[in-house]
Amino acid sequence: MERKNAWKAYSDEQITELEEVNKSYREFLTVGKTERECVKEIIKQAEATGYQSLQSFMEQGRDLQKGDKVYAVCMNKSVAMFQIGEQPLEQGMNILGAHIDSPRLDVKQNPLYEDSDMAYLDTHYYGGIKKYQWVTIPLAIHGTIAKKDGTVQDIIIGEKEDDPVLVISDLLIHLSQQQIEKKAGVVVEGEGLDILVATKPLTGNDELEKEEKELVKAAVVQFLKENLDMEEEDFLSAELEIVPAGKARDCGLDRSMVIGYGQDDRVCAFTSLFAMLETENPERTSCCILVDKEEIGSVGATGMQSRFFENTVAEVLNLVGEYSELNVRRCLAASDMLSSDVSAAFDPSYASAFEKKNAAFFGRGMVFNKFTGARGKSGSNDANAEYVAHIRAIMEESGVAFQTAELGKIDVGGGGTIAYILALYGMNVIDCGVAVLSMHAPWEATSKADIYETKCGYVAFLEKACL
């Protein structure tokens, strides 16, 4: 049952293609550090290959025909893509679903303060993180500022070579005797993840200098006004995300890996997008849904639990002339889905957390998780045997390297995906994607071979008919 390392079977031509896929992926990962940035890049790439806004079809009163490619966006944070196939939509779709949010630090709405001639931004962490991993590394601000007059402005600080970066300080080892005796979860606490942004006081303002009132904070406020046309009050309606600064890069002396921020789950979002753009004239309508908020439970208007996807499917059915409430239900129930999410890669340095026979290994291809969840499969979608057999047949027929895995030992921990939410419609769903080292850390690592095989696996899935 042990799977072979995919690198051993590649031809020179496949290696070239693999490197091209991973180059595109690194570029995507570098420019897409927030959900909004991902959606912007997804739309850019989709439109370049013939996709059009679903809204434009609706406004023009145009019908959708076989071969048409459309997309819909929800609040600039989630996107759904469709390529209309030959079969009636009532007979279902082949769906790829991933999430484009990643663990990070969010700037609070009233964040700016000064202490001991140092100015800070207060943050609230988003998703599951090891808080101590976020100190003393270069950080950048990515986000959006919405003002009362209706103007919206995107900002990025910390990514250009001549940009300043930000940092969270840590206690020096010489004074850390009590700190290092704490449990890892409280060595750095959530309220301690404050971003150091400035230490130079404002000069040239005689009134403030005379009063000696928070001159470093005043200097930051002046910077915001002069460089971002932003008042301190505008923090109230801003979404500012603190993420690791720097580009995604090749990793390893052999350049066999990719290291970068946000690979959970943007590695699966990218490979899903790439597969959608590569697939032409599918027999069955192809769909790709890339959503927000998975890391905090898939909640909210842009999470998978919202009605965005269901509503968009209804609109598509209407434009192909098949709409009825019953057909919406039939379409979703008859669909097959790959819940495209990452899996934990076996790490020899922490082997005790894994059950080796059922672990995912770097370089052995895309990973299928029949179930996720925690302990007794709590919170999981558990794919049925017939569907797993169907997927196996597709992958083997297409020559895709794949492996199966569980997320670590049974009682060690666990995790979930969006799979169970789509399964509520009665469709076939299985989790699959790329194995990741250091998942949820500021910098995660993946295998180029696994990224390539996953892209190939998604293409094969979209091109095949239903079970």
Beta bridge partners of 12: none
In 3D space, the residue among 224, 115, 249 whose CA is nearest the CA of residue 169 turns out to be 115
Yes or no: say if 38 and 100 are a contact pair by the CB < 8 Å rule: yes
Provide the pLDDT for residue 466. 67
Provide the pLDDT for residue 149. 93
- What span, in angstroms and rounded, lies between the C-alpha atoms of 182 and 207? 45
Structure tokens at 128: 């599951």
Please identify which residue in the block is written with the tokens 């169970």. 420
In 3D space, the residue among 251, 347, 241, 240 whose CA is nearest the CA of residue 26 turns out to be 251
The whole-model pTM stands at 0.94
Structure tokens at 345: 């890669």
**DSSP per residue, 174-223:** GG-TTGGGS-HHHHS-GGG-PEEEE-PPP-S-HHHHHHT--HHHHHHHHH
Provide the pLDDT for residue 254. 97
Amino acid identity of residue 61, one-letter, is G
The dihedral sign for the CA sequence 241, 246, 252, 254: positive
Dmax over CA atoms of the chain, in Å, equals 78
Buried b (16+ CB within 10 A) or exposed e, 315-340: bbbbbbebbeeebbebbbebbbbbbb
Provide the pLDDT for residue 465. 66
- What span, in angstroms and rounded, lies between the C-alpha atoms of 73 and 83? 15
Compute mean pLDDT per 10 residues along the chain, 467 residues long, and list them. Answer: 88 97 97 97 97 91 92 98 95 96 97 97 97 97 96 96 97 94 94 97 77 86 94 96 98 98 96 96 95 95 96 96 95 96 95 93 95 83 93 95 92 86 95 96 98 97 80
Provide the pLDDT for residue 1. 66
Provide the pLDDT for residue 210. 67
